[in-house]
Amino acid sequence: MNGSGRRGNAHPATGRVAAGTAAIAVVASCTSGTAAPPGETARTPPAASAVSTAPVPAGLGGLVDRARVTVIARRLPGDSLLRVMALGPDGTVLGQADPPETGGPGRPRGSVWQVPPDGRTARLLVRDAGDPAYMWRMAAGGTGRLWPAGEHLRCLDPRGAGPVRTLPGWTGRELFFADRDLIAWEARGRRPAVSRGCAERAVPLPVRGSLVAFSQPHAFVRDGDGLTRVDARTGESTAIRDVPASAEVFAAAPGTLAFADRTALHIVDLRTGERRPVALGLPHRNDPLFTARLTAGTRLVVHSLHHQDLDLAESLVHDPRTGTSTLLPAEAWAAGDRLLWRDGEVYLLARVHP
């Protein structure tokens, strides 16, 4: 799953961009936000409703199934465009409307939209999800859809059923993740926690530090210069050595840990301990106006940079198996066996070859 720099202290995110543990004695609380009514679904235009032979960048041709690329239109009802915030391991896409709707007397109203793996419909999950300026991240897993609302972490059942709930202890600036049937976040006191669903009890992990990556069942927790892999089922911990202090983004997938600073991407084989550096080669890697994001799937790792205020992004798609990298002049994500990238006014979702 993916990670990016946690929310900055100076300003909110902009529009661009286990055994041996004790359960926390609180479950997620209900909140005033509610899921969109059943059937409130926006159909994407016909051009975006079918699997197509959409053009695939040359460097990706051998990595994805070119004949089964799903085209997802950005156009939503009204004058808004879909801005993707998360890709789930099954190909589910989460995002928000850009620009947001207006609720109340001129108040912007954030929303959560979901596109299923086939990309044929964009469903409005939550109409009034909070201030869109603070919706800097989302996560899509098998037991929950997560997004921030100010200093609260919201969670909704993947089917859109039931109330929107608030996960306990989150303070508004820490990373959160969702994988197959676990969700993970960092609670107060730098205490990572996991849960099996929005309404399930939160279980703290037996470590303290910043949660920087998660790939079920492993949480990756950073404390100073140290990085620890924690098994959420058993509480067993393993130190990951020689992680430089300059590493700013992390991502994990089964058997793989990736981290990057502004000079290089590092791939760690968690089975053998082998580490390989990869030159980034992104034009804006040293530009402080660009924010870094790192995502990882079962085969690919994607390092993206996106401008904090402008609609500009660039990505490096790396295949650790072959050691090859492809540069894209757009945002991109990897999760599970899927790769998602933007191509102008559409997003393209492809299956990655095993």
Residue 96 has pLDDT above 80, yes or no: yes
The closest of 234, 229, 221, 232 to 182, measured between CA atoms, is 232
Residue 71 and residue 296: Cα distance in Å, rounded? 21
pLDDT band at 20 (very low <50, low <70, confident <90, very high): very low
- Please state, rounded to an integer, the average pLDDT across all residues of the chain: 87
Q: What is the pLDDT of residues 111-134, one digit of tens each?
A: 999 999 877 668 899 999 999 989
Q: Identify the pLDDT of residue 201.
A: 96
Residue 231 has pLDDT above 90, yes or no: yes
Q: Identify the pLDDT of residue 77.
A: 87
DSSP-derived 3-state class of residue 220: strand
Q: What is the pLDDT of residues 271-303, one digit of tens each?
A: 999 999 999 889 999 999 999 999 999 999 999
Q: Identify the pLDDT of residue 14.
A: 35
pTM of the prediction? 0.88
Architecture of the domain spanning 41-351: 7 Propeller (2.130)
> Is the omega angle on the peptide bond into residue 108 within 30 degrees of 0, that is, cis?
no
Strand order in the sheet with 210-215: 210-215, 218-223, 226-231, 237-240
Percent over 70 (pLDDT), the chain? 83
Query: What DSSP assignment string belongs to 260-288?
Result: E-SSEEEEEETTT--EEEEE---TTTT-T
The closest of 287, 354, 345 to 314, measured between CA atoms, is 287
Please say whether the beta carbons of 198 and 165 come within 8 A: yes
Q: Identify the pLDDT of residue 335.
A: 98
What are the extents of the domains in the chain? 41-351
Residue 7 has pLDDT above 90, yes or no: no
Residue 46 has pLDDT above 50, yes or no: no
Residue 267 has pLDDT above 80, yes or no: yes
Query: What DSSP assignment string belongs to 98-128?
Result: ESPEEETTTEEEEEEEEE-TT-SEEEEEEEE
Percent over 90 (pLDDT), the chain? 72
Q: Identify the pLDDT of residue 45.
A: 45
Q: Identify the pLDDT of residue 26.
A: 39
Q: What is the pLDDT of residues 200-211, one digit of tens each?
A: 999 999 999 999
Mean pLDDT across the stretch 224-238? 95
Q: Identify the pLDDT of residue 106.
A: 63
Mean pLDDT across the stretch 141-160? 95
Per the model's pLDDT, the better-predicted residue between 39 and 326 turns out to be 326
Residue 233 and residue 18: Cα distance in Å, rounded? 4
Q: Identify the pLDDT of residue 19.
A: 33
Alpha carbon of 318 to those of 75, 89, 107, 326: distances in Å?
A: 29, 17, 41, 6
